[in-house]
A and B are shown apart, each in its own frame.
Chain A
Amino acid sequence: MLSILKQWIMTGNLSEQITVNNNGKVEAAYKTFSRIKDINPRTRKALSRSLLIRHLDTGSCNAEEAEILALSNPIYDITRFGIDFTASPRHADVLTVSGPVTRHLKIAMERTYEAMPEPKIVVAIGDGACTGSLYNKTYACLGKVDQFIPIDIYIPGDPPSPTQILEGLLLCKMLLAEKEKKNG
Chain B
Amino acid sequence: MKTKNINKEYLQAEIDFIHKDHNLDASFITMFATDERPLNLGFKVYTVFLFKNPTSILTLSTQLDQEEPAYPAISLKIPQANWYEREIHDLFGITPCGIDLDPLVLHRDWHRGKNFPMRKDFHIDTPMPISEVPHEFSNQPHAEGMNQIAVGPIHAGIIEPGHLRFCTIGEKVLKFDAQLFYTHKGIEKMAEGKTIDEALNLAEHVCGMCSYAHSTAFCQAIETLTQNHIPIRASYIRTICLELERISSHLFDLSSICSAGGFGFGGIHAARLREIIMRVIYKITGHRFFRGLNEPGGLKKDISDALLKELLFEIKDFKAKFKDWEKLVMNNDSFLDRLEGTGALTKEQAITLGIVGPPARASGINRDIRRDFTYETYKKYMPKITTYEEGDALARTKIRIDEIYESIELLKNLIQAVPSGHILNRTPFQFSEPQTSIGIVESAKGELIHSLMITPENKIYRWHVRSASYMNWRGMVQATMANNILPDGPLVNKSFNLCYACVDR
Contact = CB atoms under 8 A, between A and B. Distances in A.
Interface stretch (A19-27, A38-46, A97-105, A171-179): A97-105
A55 B158 contact: yes
Given A62-B160, A105-B153, A137-B125, A73 B268 contact: yes
A104 B202 contact: no
Interface centre among B211, B291, B325, B501 (most CB of A within 10 A): B501
A59 B274 contact: no
B303 to A, nearest CB: 20
A139 B124 contact: yes
Given A61-B501, A63-B208, A75-B275, A136 B181 contact: no
Interface string B473-496: 000000000000000000000000
Nearest to A53: B158
B328 A87 contact: no
Interface string B260-289: 000001001101101100100000000011
A11 interface: yes
Interface stretch (B186-194, B362-370, B407-415): B186-194
B207 A105 contact: no
Contacts of B132: 107
Contact of B185 (A56, A76, A108, A135): A135
Nearest to B256: A69
A72 B271 contact: yes
B97 interface: no
Given A64-B208, A134-B201, A74 B161 contact: no
Contact of B117 (A68, A106, A140): A140
A183 interface: no
B124 to A, nearest CB: 5
A7 interface: yes
Contacts of A133: 205
A104 B328 contact: no
Contact of B158 (A4, A14, A68, A112): A68
B183 A65 contact: no
Contact of A107 (B124, B130, B158, B271): B130
B218 interface: no
Given A66-B252, A75-B272, A100-B185, A106 B125 contact: no
B331 A3 contact: yes
A106 B130 CA distance: 9
Contacts of B201: 134
B124 A136 contact: yes
Contact of B161 (A4, A64, A108): A108
B205 A70 contact: no
Contacts of B278: 70
B57 interface: no
B157 interface: yes
Given A88-B156, A139-B122, A4 B328 contact: yes
Contacts of A87: 156-157
A124 B499 CA distance: 22
B329 to A, nearest CB: 10
Given A57-B161, A105-B153, A105-B161, A140 B271 contact: no
Contacts of A134: 201-202, 205
Interface in B174-226: 181-187, 189-190, 201-202, 205-209, 211
Contacts of A136: 124-125, 190
A68 B271 CA distance: 12
Nearest to B292: A158
Contacts of B160: 57, 60, 62, 65
B382 interface: no
Contacts of B182: 59, 102, 104-105, 108
A69 B271 contact: yes
B430 interface: no
Contacts of A70: 271, 274-275, 278
A65 B328 CA distance: 27
Interface string B151-168: 001101111110000000
Interface in B112-170: 115, 117, 122, 124-128, 130, 132, 153-154, 156-161
Contact of A61 (B157, B186, B208): B208
Contacts of B500: 62
A138 interface: yes
B327 interface: yes
A85 interface: yes
A85 B156 CA distance: 9
Contacts of A68: 158
Contacts of A104: 107, 153, 181-184
Contacts of A89: 154
A83 to B, nearest CB: 13
Given A62-B500, A136-B190, 20 more contacts: A4-B265, A7-B324, A8-B265, A10-B324, A14-B272, A56-B154, A60-B160, A61-B207, A63-B208, A64-B208, A73-B275, A75-B272, A85-B157, A102-B182, A104-B182, A104-B184, A108-B153, A140-B117, A140-B186, A141-B186
13 contacts: A60-B160, A62-B501, A66-B208, A74-B269, A99-B183, A107-B130, A135-B185, A138-B125, A138-B189, A139-B115, A139-B125, A139-B127, A161-B288
Interface of A: 3-4, 7-8, 10-11, 14, 55-70, 72-76, 85, 87-89, 99-100, 102-108, 112, 133-141, 158-159, 161
